[in-house]
Structure 1
């Protein structure tokens, strides 16, 4: 597992602490690996998910740091979403 994935898992767990997320999401960080998010939190993994969000490491880092809104990243083509768009919006709200 890469340092990028380790750092992202830690950051996601901090952001999602105490927030409800009903479903499964997968973040694919190009060239680094994948992170699963469900009601138990975030962890490294590449399982099936209700929604898959794909971005490069720089875009993902900007979203986690709050410098880039997930919706803006999607609208500008920096973040691709495959699957349940409602769940992607729910996750985007939790990360803001």
Structure 2
């Protein structure tokens, strides 16, 4: 599932830059890393990590889960540099 999401993000990133690195840590389901203007499922150190379930990742990326609501409800936890996570919003539109 994360590989499919990574492929769709890579298509969406075409021609757009993403400054910084961001990891979605889905626990036992794996990780999705945005770095060097591409998405991959290879784990690495990043500027910011968002911990959430794979289902909540799908909801977040599809716009069904508001990031601020997700944080307040405990559905996602942000560590590291939150400014990097804020840049993600412009890519999701």
State if a TM-score over 0.5 links the two structures.
Answer: yes
Is structure 2 residue 42 aligned with structure 1 residue 45? yes
Tell me the secondary structure at the aligned position of residue 8 of structure 2.
helix
Give 1:22 shift. Answer: 0.9
Structure 2 unmatched runs, 5+? none
Question: Mean Cα displacement is larger for which, 11-20 or 76-85?
Answer: 11-20
Structure 1 unmatched runs, 5+? none
Report if aligned partners of 2:31, 2:41 keep a CA contact under 8 Å in 1.
Answer: yes
Taking structure 2 as the reference length, the TM-score comes to: 0.86
Taking structure 1 as the reference length, the TM-score comes to: 0.83
Q: CA–CA distance in 2 between the matches of 1:26 and 1:58?
A: 16
**Post-superposition, which runs of at least 4 consecutive aligned residues in structure 1 deviate over 4 A?**
none
Residues 18, 77 of structure 1: alpha-carbon distance in 2 compared, 3 angstrom cutoff: farther
Taking only aligned residues, the RMSD between alpha carbons, in angstroms, comes to: 1.6
Number of residue pairs matched? 93
